[in-house]
Chain A
Amino acid sequence: MSRADHLCQQLTGCLVLLCVVLLSGCSSTIALHQARLQYQQGDAAAAIETLSSTEVVDAKDRLLYWLEKGLILHDSGDYENSTKELLAASRYLTQNDYLSLRDEGRALLANDWAGSYSGEYSEQLWVHSYLMMNFLITSQYDSAAVEARQALRLIDNHPEVLQSDVFTRALIGLSFEAAGQLNDSYIVNRKLSDALHKEQPESYNGIDHLLLAQAQRLGFTNDVREITQRINTAASESASHSLTKNNEAIVFISSGRIPHKVSGSIIADDYARLSFPQYYVNSVSAPRLEIHVNGASCDCHPISSDLGILVSESLNKRGVATATRTLIRAVAKEAVAEAISEKDEFAGGLARALFFALEEADTRSWQSLPRFITMLRVPLPADNDNVKIKIRDLEASQSDTQAIVVDLVESGPIISVRLP
């Protein structure tokens, strides 16, 4: 082999490796990172400005663009535009519900970053959760019920992970109820009641009172008897829980920040690395909420989901698929490096070093989500339209000045707040 041939082969090898590097791309994370930082620093307007158009991120990160922007807009109170972004995310997920050979090929050649992000199962569910909240707040009850059905299908497809999201299940029941689809609402609430009995006994009583009122309206006499016995309360007392929207406010409360995915690695030998994404979920208890309605303490029954635990379980659920792909990639990379080494040992070594450096776990995730999300049904005084609700997390805020006060005359009966 002449010196020129040797040089050409090295050049070809370098070009292939350069392609691999380019495939692993990281350009679009800059805009997302900046927007998340701005949002965390309290400048939601700047974050929305940073995410001004989908062009600021690569096509493979388009889902994250819609998710982050949709949630920031929701927290800023711009529910219409938040809905547009989240509906775009929902459409994207529906249209891309297949195994992409292009993405798999890229992931095999470089790393999982090179493929399109399709979200964890729980993140896919929360697209519908936030859409339900947006539609309920803007009084589009039929549309909230549409999202509720889509969320139910997702929960049915992945029950082992998503059944634990009691907040979203309560939201589904509420969406059906608001749309006047009482039978559907009753079925969801009935199943939720069983789940809460096991997971959140403090909320169990609240949902059963609601369930009883629904059973009475639907004329399910046997169920009325059974539920009445179960909650051990006089039926006449429970009947005072009216389903009329004027008599209660719905409050969605977000708090804390969801944990971020981190990269874990196993070094097989000097040049082989296996990387995989993982979550470190701190043990944090749900917010201890103190609610006052026009100064009077409210004995509300919060229904909370820990999004940190749920997203971690979602990631674990597809752990086998991730591990298989990582192993196949490691074998493929070693085979390529070996083949190059046979021709040129230096180029082979270079390839191994590059593959080692490129082996990075895909730590993309929906980062602006809260750690906890809670739903409260707050009974309102019947004889007073001028209602103010004060919300305080007893764990996080020491003084009363850190409480959030919402005037229902301005906000309407369904509100969403994010605690600092």
Chain B
Amino acid sequence: MSYFIRNARRFSLLTSIALGVSLGISACATTRDIDPDSSIHYDASYDFSDKKQIVNHLSQNLLDYVDLNNSRPVLISYGIGNETSEHINTGGISDDIRLVLVQSGKYQLINESQRANIQSETGFQKTGAVAPSQRIAEGRQLGADYILAGTLRSIVKDQPRQFRLNKKKLVHYSLNLELTDTQTGAVSWADKVEIARESSRPIIGW
């Protein structure tokens, strides 16, 4: 017992330091709002900042294209294929591009995802439950002038094995988007966005 008593001061000092360090490490959880236009990347992989950059670039060029032709074409979007090595929801990109085009009023967009529901609603109205004057007139749907489709690709390169403290990774994303004329099958417009990023993470951690 005398051992502990003699070293009481040392023990209490060590205990205080350990407690302080523990409190410091277990700092309080925080949340903060960030500017959606700011570019924040935690690693080299695809994130919302990339999506914003892709959507801004491609939708603006699409709007410029229709201005040149002075028309209001009908578009149907067949989505963006994901040929990367990440599970990226490319539906978010095509939805955002569609939104910009619809809001601009320069394009008419066909909602392909609602076709089955429209069919179902039309069928229901014909059962007799809806007054004939209020029924959907058939044969009035728009035919697409263009198909909007694209592909997101990525090339990933890891730093070769060698003696190092950090592991570097280089990722190159490219998104190709094109408008295909449904009458001729010709590609009427095409554009691409490229994003290249390098990230490094320590090989040793806690």
Contact = CB atoms under 8 A, between A and B. Distances in A.
B83 to A, nearest CB: 6
A145 B85 CA distance: 8
A142 B203 contact: no
Contacts of A100: 205-206
Nearest to B45: A94
A149 B84 contact: yes
Contact of A99 (B86, B156, B203): B203
B14 to A, nearest CB: 13
A4 B85 contact: no
Contacts of B129: none
A176 B166 CA distance: 32
A181 interface: yes
Contacts of A143: 82, 87
B84 A102 contact: no
Interface string A402-417: 0000000000000000
A149 B167 CA distance: 20
B94 to A, nearest CB: 13
Interface string A73-106: 0000000000000010000000001111110000
B185 interface: no
Given A98-B201, A99-B204, A100-B205, A181 B83 contact: yes
Contacts of A2: 2
A116 to B, nearest CB: 12
Nearest to A103: B206
Nearest to B151: A181
A157 B167 CA distance: 14
Contact of B2 (A4, A146, A179): A4
Nearest to A157: B158
A98 B156 contact: no
Contacts of B158: 153, 157
Nearest to A131: B87
Interface residues of A, number: 23
B204 A98 contact: yes
Interface in A356-399: none
A87 B83 CA distance: 18
B106 to A, nearest CB: 30
B87 to A, nearest CB: 5
Contacts, number: 50
A278 B203 CA distance: 27
Contacts of A181: 83
A98 B167 CA distance: 9
B186 to A, nearest CB: 20
Nearest to A151: B85
Interface in B73-129: 81-87
Q: In the complex, which range does the number of interface residues on chain B fall in?
A: 20 to 34
A150 B4 contact: no
Given A8-B4, A99-B205, A149 B85 contact: yes
B139 interface: no
A42 B85 CA distance: 36
Nearest to B6: A5
A4 B204 contact: no
B1 A4 contact: yes
B163 interface: no
Contacts of A9: 3
B85 A101 contact: no
Given A98-B201, A98-B205, A146-B86, A8 B81 contact: no
Given A4-B1, A5-B2, A8-B3, A142 B82 contact: yes
Contacts of A157: 158
A145 B83 contact: yes
Contacts of B86: 146
A145 B82 CA distance: 9
B202 interface: yes
Contacts of A150: 85
A157 B156 CA distance: 13
Contact of B85 (A5, A102, A146): A146
A146 B82 contact: yes
Interface in B1-39: 1-4
Nearest to B84: A146
A146 B4 contact: no
A118 to B, nearest CB: 13
Contacts of A5: 2-3
A332 B167 CA distance: 30
Contacts of B205: 98-101
Nearest to A143: B87
A180 B158 CA distance: 26
Interface in A1-31: 2, 4-5, 8-9
Of B85, B86, B204, which is in contact with the most chain A CB atoms at under 10 Å from its CB?
B85
A385 to B, nearest CB: 22
Nearest to B156: A153
Contacts of B204: 98-99, 101
B90 to A, nearest CB: 8
Contacts of B85: 146, 149-150, 153
Closest 6 pairs between A and B when the two form their complex, measured CB to CB: A149-B85, A8-B3, A98-B205, A142-B82, A5-B3, A99-B204
Given A8-B1, A179-B81, 4 more contacts: A101-B204, A101-B206, A146-B85, A180-B81
25 contacts: A2-B2, A8-B3, A8-B4, A87-B87, A97-B167, A98-B167, A98-B201, A98-B202, A98-B203, A99-B203, A99-B205, A100-B206, A142-B81, A142-B82, A143-B82, A143-B87, A145-B83, A146-B84, A146-B85, A146-B87, A150-B85, A153-B158, A157-B158, A179-B81, A181-B83
Interface of A: 2, 4-5, 8-9, 87, 97-102, 142-143, 145-146, 149-150, 153, 157, 179-181
